[in-house]
Amino acid sequence: MNKSKLTSCIRRITTLLFTMIIAFNPHSVMASEESKALYPAAPGTYRHWLGGTTETAKIGKVDETGCNTSWLFDDNIYVTSTYNPTNRQSFALDIHSSLPQPIEVGDVITKIEIYPCAGIHSSSPQTFPSELRVFYIWKSDLFDYFPTMQFSGTYIVNSKVSTNLPVAVFSGLSNTVHTGSKLEIGVENLAGLTKLSAIRAVVYWTNN
């Protein structure tokens, strides 16, 4: 076998071995993956909004797969006072087991998208728009006493019929997942009386 044929053979064998390594060990290279939609799974840090007899009951008010367009306030959470315009409500997401492929320890979350559905509180007499924003909280582990918190821009809602608001995108993240990592999404009332009918997130991450 001449030198040229030998070199070509070695290259083919090397390519085949590399392909087999990737096939049997998907974590051997960095690969971007996307989660399915994640819905509120547990009470979060902030628990100021109304709409349920318990915090767990509130989850059932906002975990729909779509936007609840009913003007009634029997299937959403809401605020009834503007005395504290920074009223917040948040929910924990189950990032460890709710995914088609679980996010594992060592993986890195690179982007979070939040999809809110909201409107003016149904019993509000106001004739002006309500304002709100959404946020996420990232707690890297059980001993993270200063978790990361980022807010979207301000949403303005003009109707008592809840509508899907533009997705809030938080990109360029580098949140490494640990055993005790926790992700929350939430809503903050800024002006007027607001209701939240649904909220969910999509998480993007890279493998370790």
Same domain, 10 and 84: no
Greater confidence (75 vs 74) lies with 75
Residue 26: what pLDDT? 46
Same domain, 43 and 62: yes
pLDDT digits (tens, 9 = 90+) for 22-60: 444 444 455 667 777 899 999 999 999 998 889 999 999
Residue 180: what pLDDT? 92
Same domain, 1 and 86: no
CATH of the domain at 87: 2.60.120
Average pLDDT over residues 92-110: 85
Q: Identify the band that residue 172 occupies on the pLDDT scale cut at 50, 70 and 90.
A: very high
CA distances to 30, 32, 118, 139, 171 from 186, rounded to whole Å, are 30, 25, 12, 14, 17
Q: Identify the band that residue 83 occupies on the pLDDT scale cut at 50, 70 and 90.
A: low
Same domain, 21 and 93: no
The number of folded domains in the chain is: 2
Residue 103: what pLDDT? 86
Residue 18: what pLDDT? 44
Same domain, 91 and 5: no
pLDDT digits (tens, 9 = 90+) for 127-171: 889 999 999 999 998 888 899 999 999 999 999 889 999 999 999
Same domain, 15 and 42: no
Residue 11: what pLDDT? 56
Same domain, 59 and 3: no
The candidate with the shortest Cα–Cα distance to 149, out of 62, 60, 86, is: 86
Contact 47, 89 (CB under 8 A): yes
Same domain, 106 and 19: no
Same domain, 22 and 56: no
Positive or negative, the CA dihedral 173, 175, 36, 154 is negative
Same domain, 23 and 43: no
* Domain encompassing residue 16: 1-28
Residue 57: what pLDDT? 94
Q: In the chain, what is the greatest distance between 2 CA atoms, to the nearest angstrom?
A: 89
The candidate with the shortest Cα–Cα distance to 136, out of 89, 174, 183, is: 183
Residue 86: what pLDDT? 66
Same domain, 2 and 72: no
Same domain, 174 and 90: yes
Computed over every residue of the chain, the mean pLDDT equals 83
The candidate with the shortest Cα–Cα distance to 34, out of 184, 206, 195, is: 206
pLDDT at 5 over 90: no
